[in-house]
Copies of this chain bind each other. A is one copy, B any other.
Amino acid sequence: MRFGLFGSAQAKRGGAANVDSGSGFREFVDYNMEAEQLGYHSTFIVEHHFTGYGQISATLNLLTWIGARTSTLRLGTAVMVLPWHNPILLAEQAATIDLLSQGRLDLGIGKGYRFNEFKGFGIPMEEAETRFEECVEVMLKSWTSEEPFTHKGKHWTFEDVIVEPPTFQKPHPALWMGAGSPGSIKRVAERGMSLLLDQFAPHSTIIERVALFKTECETVGRTFDPMQVGVARALYICDTPEEKERVLAARMSSKAKQAELAQRPDGQNKASIMAYDDTRETAEAGALFGTVDEIIAKLQYLKSGGVEYVLLNLGAAGPAGRDITRRFAKEILPALK
Interface positions of A from 71 to 129, Cβ below 8 Å from B: 84-86, 88-89, 92-93, 95-97, 99-100, 102, 116, 119-122
Contact A64 B68 (CB under 8 A): yes
- The answer to whether A100 and B68 touch (CB under 8 A), given A92-B49, A164-B51, is no
Given A11-B99, A52-B162; A92-B21 close (CB under 8 Å): no
Instruction: Check if B119 sits within 8 Å of A160, measured CB to CB.
Output: yes
Flag the segment in A54-62, A184-192, A223-231, A328-336 that touches B.
Answer: A54-62
Residues of B within 8 A of A85 (CB): 86, 89
Q: Which of B21, B58, B161 contacts A50 (CB 8 A)?
A: B161
Q: A166 contacts the other chain (Cβ, under 8 Å)?
A: yes
| Contacting pair A57 B165 (CB below 8 A) | yes
Give complex CA distance A165, B13 in Å.
Answer: 6
Docked CA distance A21–B146 (Å): 13
Measured CB to CB, the residues of A under 8 A from B are: 11-14, 21-22, 25-26, 29, 49-52, 54-55, 57-58, 60-62, 64-65, 67-69, 84-86, 88-89, 92-93, 95-97, 99-100, 102, 116, 119-122, 146, 148, 156-166, 168
- Could you show 5 A-B contacts with beta carbons less than 8 Å apart? A25-B99, A50-B160, A55-B164, A60-B61, A65-B97
